[in-house]
Structure 1
Amino acid sequence: MSMANTSGMKRRPTHPGEMLREDFLVDYDLTVTGLADALGVSRQSVNELLRERRAVSPEMALRLARLFGNSPEFWMNAQRAVDLWDASQAIKEDVARIQPLDAA
């Protein structure tokens, strides 16, 4: 299994909420209320996601993928990249102290 290399990134990956806010809402001429109605979720849920105060859950990824005609993996991968970046920044020094093992 391979893992994405996030150590070389100089900036935080784009949050899925920013993608929705800056690209999808504009391209599809949607409002927060319109998006919430189309997804079948509360306006508060959508607003928190757009303001990057909420992560994309697997359930939301399924809803977004169905609405916009892409894949749930698109949304989950975008969220995963943000989560890994945030975690790597939070424990950077601790991880640097770990000595990698040599294969026998």
Structure 2
Amino acid sequence: MPMYDPAHPGEILGEDILKELNITITAAAEKLGISRKTLSAIVNGHAPITAETAIKLEKVFGKPDAEHWLRMQMTYDLYHARQKMAA
């Protein structure tokens, strides 16, 4: 069953991980070894979670694993590509 309008994985990262751990985007970006600008773009749904970023998220935060982050990104991308092609 296809998902309808799935959340961007950055939204999940912001709400379910950073907010729960009470960690700022700046502090998380430092831990991940990426720029604050890049992490902010991901959390705000303006940039995708790449394979490299997924691995870093797994190493720093543990769960979910890198594969899960990439599945969320793929689901999001596929949904929006289908919407664009249907239009």
Q: Which has the larger radius of gyration?
A: 1
Match of 2:56 among 63, 79, 83: 63
1:77 aligns with 2:66: no
| Structure with a larger share of its residues in helix | 2
RMSD (Å) for aligned C-alpha atoms: 1.2
User: Which stretches of structure 1, 4 residues or more, deviate above 4 A after TM superposition?
Assistant: none
TM-score for both structures, normalised by structure 1: 0.77
Match of 2:18 among 12, 22, 25: 25
Instruction: Give percent identity, aligned residues only.
Output: 34
Higher relative contact order (CA 8 A, sep 6+): 2
- For structure 2, list consecutive stretches of 5 or more residues without a partner in the other structure: none
- CA deviation digits over 1:70-89, x for unaligned, max 9? 21101000000000000110
Per the TM alignment, residue 26 of structure 1 is displaced from its structure 2 partner at its CA by 1.3
Question: CA offsets per residue over residues 17-61 of structure 1, 9 Å max, x none?
Answer: 100111111111110101100101100000100110000000000
CA shift for structure 1 position 14: 1.3
TM-score under structure 2 normalisation?
0.92
